[in-house]
């Protein structure tokens, strides 16, 4: 079974621009979660989508948004990029089955904001 895929793998943007990242989950998985990872803050939860609906949201500003399509693929968008948005953005997919759900990560998108 193919794993979680993320595109692009690397991005370089400048302040003020916007960016869209894409995530394709494992076949059959209906939940996609997004995380930001930086050396200082570790893995921080952005949001989770399940069946095209945002089910959970972390403490990030409204510049960070996402969506999920009917085939469970998900995108996240960051508008008005800031230097502090430079990070590894990870998505993880799961069945979305609640308390025993197991998440599997994609390879990540490394975003650099100049």
Partner 1 sequence: QKEVEQNSGPLSVPEGAIASLNCTYSDRGSQSFFWYRQYSGKSPELIMFIYSNGDKEDGRFTAQLNKASQYVSLLIRDSQPSDSATYLCAVIAPQGNNRLAFGKGNQVVVIP
Nearest approach, Cβ of 93 to partner 1 (angstroms)?
Answer: 12
Q: What does the binding site for partner 1 look like in residue numbers (CB under 8 A)?
A: 33, 35, 42-43, 45, 48, 55-56, 88, 90, 92, 98-108
Within 8 A by CB and 6+ apart from 98, the residues are none
Please state the closest distance from residue 16 (CB atom) to partner 1, in A: 28
Least distance (Å) from partner 1 to the CB of residue 40? Answer: 9
Q: Which among 31, 49, 27 is positioned nearest to 97, based on CA atoms? A: 31
β-pair type (10-13, 109-113): parallel
Decide whether 57 or 63 has the Cβ nearer to partner 1: 57
């Amino acid at each position: 079974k193919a794993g979680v895929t993320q595109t692009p793998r690397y991005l370089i943007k400048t302040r003020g621009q916007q960016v869209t990242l894409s995530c394709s989950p494992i076949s059959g998985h209906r939940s996609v979660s997004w995380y930001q990872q930086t050396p200082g803050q570790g893995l921080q939860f952005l949001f989770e989508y399940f069946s095209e609906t945002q089910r959970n949201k972390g403490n990030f500003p409204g510049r960070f948004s996402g969506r999920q399509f009917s085939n469970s693929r998900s995108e996240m968008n960051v508008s008005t990029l800031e230097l502090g948005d430079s990070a590894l953005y990870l998505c993880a997919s799961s069945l979305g089955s609640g308390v025993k759900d197991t998440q599997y990560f994609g390879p990540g998108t490394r975003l650099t904001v100049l």
